[in-house]
Amino acid sequence: MNIQSQKLDLIEWISKLNDSSVIEKLRSIKENYAKSKDWYADLNDEELASINRGLQDIKEGRLNSHDSAKQIYGKYL
């Protein structure tokens, strides 16, 4: 079932729904979804710069293997 079919199925179900508690839960889900936003939008300039440095390191091949990271940071875990 594709997403369009799923949405139509939900619309049909909701249109026949008479349980006010379920409708209220759906309304709450809708409101919370509308208020949610991507966490990326809340990052400050320093955090964005750090992410961009990491992405640049990847592009330039400055990477460490998982085994290397375990050796370096294993004592802290």
Q: Return per-residue pLDDT of the chain as tens, 77 residues.
A: 799 999 999 999 999 999 999 999 999 999 888 787 788 888 999 999 999 999 999 999 999 899 999 998 988 88
Q: Count CA within 13 A, CB hemisphere, residue 53.
A: 6
| CA atoms of 66 and 59, how far apart (whole Å) | 18
State the amino acid at position 4 in one-letter form: Q
* Per-domain boundaries in the chain: 1-36, 38-77
The pTM (predicted TM-score) of the whole model is 0.46
> Minimal CA–CA distance to 25: which of 33, 41, 6?
33
